[in-house]
Amino acid sequence: MVSEMSKKIKGIEASPGIAIGKIFLYQEQELVIKTEKVGNTDNEKERLLEGREKSKEQLLKIREKTAEKLGEDKAAIFDGHITLLEDEDLFDEVTEIIEDENICAEAALQMGIDEYCEMLANLEDEYLRERAADLKDIGKRWLYNTAGIEIIDLSSLPANTIIAAKDLTPSDTAQIDLNNVVAFITEVGGKTAHSSIMARSLELPAIVGTGNICSLVKSGDTVIVDALKGDIIINPTEEEIGKYEEKRNNFFAEKELLKQLKDKEAISLDGTKVGTWANIGSPKDVDGVLRNGATGIGLYRTEFLFMNNDRFPTEDEQFEAYKTVAERMEGKPVTIRTMDIGGDKSLPYMQLPKEENPFLGWRAIRVCLDRTEILKTQFRALLRASAFGYIKIMLPMIMDITEIRRARAILEECKAELQTEGAKFDENIALGIMVETPAVAFRARSFAEEVDFFSIGTNDLTQYTLAVDRGNEHISKLYNTYNPGVLEAIRLAIKGAHEAGITISMCGEFAGDENATAVLFGMGLDAFSMSAISVPKIKKNLMTLDKKKCEELVDTIMKLRTSEEILEVVKKFNKENMRETCWNGVFANMDFGNEYESETSRS
């Protein structure tokens, strides 16, 4: 049914693409549990066991799918869930309730889980306290299966489905069947939410942070998802459908065309070679890196290896992950960042203090330099993996040169140990830092003289320069990397790096902002690192630019005073310089649409 009046709402574009489909409203079914007396308790115990078996089977399937799509490290989270489900103490406790009270399996199970959760929630140990949330989740699955209520299976939805949900967990996202689901929309979340990062690796269009989508749509509604602009059109008109079908076809056509750049390097019109690298969160993401023709990895966020786990990963486990990535990249640079925990990223098994200002608190390198055994284990794993490819080590959240020197001393200690053990590693392994604090940007040259490379983390650099929380949706309009203060910090970082003779890349979201390519190239950035799906487009942009013209653009915009004025000039420049330019004839007469819409690099 096509309506005459459509409704448009806005969200945050989390993973690019256009989709037209029918809504599947993903909401939990309600289970009302009545405490019924029973005559035959054996029967209830049998049902309880069957419910547990069925839950285990489902979790194993989800685990398998997750491993297939997203890799072993993300799948490992479900091992912990299965262990909790199979806890014999819990099972015995529930069967005792059935026998003592002569009640049905569901009521006893609910009581048992509640008691267990309460007991866990009151424990001192933070890790065990966190397990209460997992148990609630698993308990629900077990209850549904015992009661014979079907659990929604996201892996078997009809063709052309758009999922609308309050939020999607990693297990939900892992189950999505990419043949039938064409997009998802959630009420909460930002660009750096787990589900958004997964959507980008799956190349599934997604819009998040929509506020109240679930109360605006019902299953079966036709919806357009424009995840290039963050627009959702509910019950579109015929005319709107036609317009977006064309936009979708153009998006696919452009994607196909850009594939031709896969094996090319980004060389600008004046002959400057620029790195087009990708960011990854797990070894499995290398598939997307290779598919999109990235020429290196500019950021491997190792914290997912730590977060999707129920304990610290061992040196060998880390080694295997880093080695896999290094080998698959066949000598291309692989920049691996040491654990960046804290801020909005917590570890269930590690006691992190409750802080008033977590982003200004005990996070990243600060944690690693206080708990040096964590850094040592990671350095040893990285060094050992460096024998299998081109690994570079990167330290996050640096603001003081002493931090670099202390980290380097630990790295040297690890090298000496491995030498004694006879292990092979790259003795000249590069050690670099992220430029994420204004303190580094202001004094870039002195920091640059202490390290082998820089990478600008604009997600944090923007938040720290502007004093605007990157995850706070109430002030997201203020979070703007085109603010002249942030651009100045970026410019200073590049200048300082080059004065000291080191290379500088960017791995914050701004590197993938199609509007910003000319500005960053003009400032002299050596490599752009972004979501793998953004690589072809940024490569294309670079191939259509002339360095001198971009330098002039930078001179012009750095004299302006507001982000609005800057963006206006940048957009005009892009329109004149990046449109209808051809690369070796391949793109002759091709209109790239020039939809340079994304104006900020929100995280």
What is the closest distance, in whole angstroms, from the C-beta atom of residue 396 to Mg ion in the complex?
6
What is the closest distance, in whole angstroms, from the C-beta atom of residue 192 to ligand PEP in the complex?
6
Residue list 398-437, contact with ligand PEP (CB under 6 A)? 436
What is the closest distance, in whole angstroms, from the C-beta atom of residue 529 to Mg ion in the complex?
13
To the query of whether residue 507 is one of the catalytic residues in this protein, the response is yes
Q: Which residue has the tokens 């004694």?
A: 420
Half-sphere exposure of 133 (CA within 13 A, CB side): 6
Closer CB to ligand PEP, residue 98 or residue 365? 365
Pair 470, 463: CB distance under 8 Å: yes
Exactly one of 104, 194, 368, 550 is catalytic; name it. 194
The 10 Å CB-count burial string (b at 16+, else e) for 445-468 is bebbebbbbbbbbbbbbbbbbbeb
Token reading at 516: 């910003």
What is the closest distance, in whole angstroms, from the C-beta atom of residue 299 to ligand PEP in the complex?
6
What is the closest distance, in whole angstroms, from the C-beta atom of residue 458 to Mg ion in the complex?
9
Stretch that binds ligand PEP, among 83-91, 182-190, 375-383, 457-465 (CB under 6 A): 457-465
What is the closest distance, in whole angstroms, from the C-beta atom of residue 456 to ligand PEP in the complex?
7
Burial of 358 (0-12, 13-18, 19+ CB in 10 A): middle
Fill in the per-residue mask, 476 to 505: x = in contact with Mg ion (CB under 5 A), - = not in contact. Answer: ------------------------------
List the strands of the sheet with 222-226, edge to edge: 7-10, 231-234, 222-226, 18-26, 161-165, 181-186, 206-208, 12-15
Pair 521, 276: CB distance under 8 Å: no
Closer CB to ligand PEP, residue 19 or residue 367? 367
Residue list 174-233, contact with ligand PEP (CB under 6 A)? 192
Q: Does the CA dihedral 145-147-148-154 come out positive or negative?
A: negative
Report how far residue 530's alpha carbon sits from residue 208's, in angstroms, rounded to the nearest whole number. 19
Residue list 497-526, contact with ligand PEP (CB under 6 A)? 507-508
Q: Which residue has the tokens 């317009």?
A: 243
Residue list 316-345, contact with ligand PEP (CB under 6 A)? 340
Burial of 444 (0-12, 13-18, 19+ CB in 10 A): buried
CA distances from 501 to 426, 443, 446, 504 (A): 21, 15, 12, 10
**Residue 56: how many CB atoms within 10 A of its CB?**
18
Token reading at 522: 């003009």
What is the closest distance, in whole angstroms, from the C-beta atom of residue 399 to Mg ion in the complex?
12
Check residue 457 for interaction with Mg ion (CB under 5 A): yes
Cβ-based neighbours of 463, under 8 Å, separated by 6 or more: 359, 469, 470, 479, 603
Check residue 471 for interaction with ligand PEP (CB under 6 A): no
Closer CB to ligand PEP, residue 214 or residue 486? 486
Closer CB to Mg ion, residue 226 or residue 460? 460
Check residue 342 for interaction with Mg ion (CB under 5 A): no
Closer CB to ligand PEP, residue 182 or residue 435? 435
207 Rama class: left (phi>0) / alpha (psi -120 to 50) / beta: beta
What is the closest distance, in whole angstroms, from the C-beta atom of residue 549 to Mg ion in the complex?
31
Check residue 600 for interaction with ligand PEP (CB under 6 A): no
Select from 97, 556, 525 the least CA-distant residue to 277.
525
Q: How many residues interact with ligand PEP (rule CB under 6 A)?
A: 11
Instruction: Choose the contact partner of 508 out of Mg ion, ligand PEP, none; CB within 5 to 8 A by kind.
Output: ligand PEP
> Of 55, 173, 378, 459, which one interacts with ligand PEP (CB under 6 A)?
459
**Residue 273: how many CB atoms within 10 A of its CB?**
12
Stretch that binds ligand PEP, among 204-212, 367-375, 452-460, 519-527 (CB under 6 A): 452-460
Helix axes 88-101, 41-70, angle to 10 degrees: 150
What is the closest distance, in whole angstroms, from the C-beta atom of residue 154 to ligand PEP in the complex?
27
Closer CB to ligand PEP, residue 349 or residue 510? 510
Closer CB to ligand PEP, residue 190 or residue 522? 190
> Of 458, 476, 480, 505, which one interacts with ligand PEP (CB under 6 A)?
458
Exactly one of 104, 368, 507, 550 is catalytic; name it. 507
What are the phi and psi torsion angles at 9 (to 5°)? -130, 160
Check residue 285 for interaction with ligand PEP (CB under 6 A): no
> Of 460, 513, 514, 526, which one interacts with ligand PEP (CB under 6 A)?
460
Pair 438, 464: CB distance under 8 Å: yes
Closer CB to Mg ion, residue 17 or residue 457? 457
> Of 254, 460, 526, 546, which one interacts with Mg ion (CB under 5 A)?
460
To the query of whether residue 104 is one of the catalytic residues in this protein, the response is no
585 Rama class: left (phi>0) / alpha (psi -120 to 50) / beta: left
Stretch that binds Mg ion, among 74-82, 383-391, 454-462, 574-582 (CB under 5 A): 454-462
Closer CB to ligand PEP, residue 233 or residue 299? 299
Q: What do you get for the CA distance between the two ends of the chain, in Å? A: 36
Cβ-based neighbours of 314, under 8 Å, separated by 6 or more: 377
Pair 286, 325: CB distance under 8 Å: yes
Instruction: Choose the contact partner of 458 out of Mg ion, ligand PEP, none; CB within 5 to 8 A by kind.
Output: ligand PEP
> Of 51, 139, 457, 496, which one interacts with ligand PEP (CB under 6 A)?
457
What is the closest distance, in whole angstroms, from the C-beta atom of residue 197 to Mg ion in the complex?
13
Cβ-based neighbours of 473, under 8 Å, separated by 6 or more: 190, 209
Q: Does the CA dihedral 136-138-143-149 come out positive or negative?
A: positive
Interface residues with ligand PEP (CB under 6 A) are 192, 299, 301, 340, 436, 457-460, 507-508
Enzyme catalytic residues: 194, 507
Interface residues with Mg ion (CB under 5 A) are 457, 460
